[in-house]
A and B are shown apart, each in its own frame.
Chain A
Amino acid sequence: EAGVTQFPSHSVIEKGQTVTLRCDPISGHDNLYWYRRVMGKEIKFLLHFVKESKQDESGMPNNRFLAERTGGTYSTLKVQPAELEDSGVYFCASSQGDGRAAFFGQGTRLTVV
């Protein structure tokens, strides 16, 4: 069974550009989460999808971040325009039940220069 897959694994963009991160959850997992780890700090929750609906987006830092999950399958996280402080590792996770253990992807390392 395939795990959670994230694309790309690395991305280097200039300040002001747009970047889109993609996450393919484990098939059949209704719950999809985005997290971010900045500069070796804690892993911070960004948002939670249940199928295609945003269950909780309280962790989204500002309106430059847009997450979608059309059709309840894969999800994208767009940063537009990117700022230097957006650099970090973005993790995606999926699970079968809310609050239960989630399976994580390998993360996308985003560097904004």
Chain B
Amino acid sequence: AQSVTQPDIHITVSEGASLELRCNYSYGATPYLFWYVQSPGQGLQLLLKYFSGDTLVQGIKGFEAEFKRSQSSFNLRKPSVHWSDAAEYFCAHKLIFGTGTRLQVFP
């Protein structure tokens, strides 16, 4: 069965620090990979997606993610975190979601 793993349940970073959220997925012939963010009281918002082509994809809010087929990973990165990035982040492969990573940002 297909699965998506987000090994980090909770991450805390200082504002201005770099960020990497991990995501691993079970192998599929065609990757349809997504990162979503859910801010408190809000719905899920798409940050970026990967279907094919350049393995480094740029998203909204300064986020990027890199698809690595050899590692079955699709990690989300941001070079400098802002306090407004505090939220819960979900990785998804097709219709399967990971358990989410809650990001806390300290000033």
Chain B interface, >50% SS class? strand
- Complex alpha-carbon distance, A42 and B44, angstroms: 13
**Partner pick for B49 among A93, A101, A107, CB 8 A cutoff:** A101
Q: A41-B99, A44-B97, A45-B95 are in contact. Are A4 and B32 (CB under 8 A)?
A: no
Q: A99-B32, A100-B32, A101-B46 are in contact. Are A48 and B95 (CB under 8 A)?
A: yes
* B100 x A42 contact (CB < 8 A): yes
Chain A residue at minimal CB-CB distance from B90: A43
Q: A101-B49, A103-B46, A104-B43 are in contact. Are A33 and B100 (CB under 8 A)?
A: no
* A105 x B43 contact (CB < 8 A): yes
A106 in contact (CB, < 8 A)? yes
A35 in contact (CB, < 8 A)? yes
Q: A4-B43, A91-B43, A106-B43 are in contact. Are A42 and B97 (CB under 8 A)?
A: yes
B67 in contact (CB, < 8 A)? no
* B44 x A104 contact (CB < 8 A): yes
Chain A residue at minimal CB-CB distance from B94: A99
Chain A residue at minimal CB-CB distance from B100: A42
- Complex alpha-carbon distance, A5 and B34, angstroms: 21
Residues of A within 8 A of B (CB): 3-4, 33, 35, 40-45, 48, 56, 91, 93, 99-107
Having A99-B32, A106-B43, one finds 20 other A-B pairs with CB under 8 Å, namely A33-B95, A35-B97, A40-B100, A41-B99, A42-B97, A42-B98, A43-B100, A44-B97, A56-B95, A91-B43, A91-B44, A93-B44, A99-B94, A100-B32, A101-B34, A101-B46, A102-B46, A104-B43, A104-B44, A107-B43
Task: Give the top 9 A-B pairs by smallest Cβ distance, nearest first.
Answer: A104-B44, A106-B43, A43-B97, A42-B99, A45-B95, A104-B43, A101-B49, A99-B32, A101-B46
26 A-B pairs (CB sep. < 8 Å)? A4-B43, A35-B97, A40-B100, A41-B99, A42-B97, A42-B98, A43-B44, A43-B90, A43-B92, A43-B97, A45-B95, A45-B96, A48-B95, A56-B95, A91-B43, A91-B44, A99-B32, A99-B95, A100-B32, A101-B34, A101-B46, A103-B46, A104-B36, A104-B43, A104-B44, A104-B45
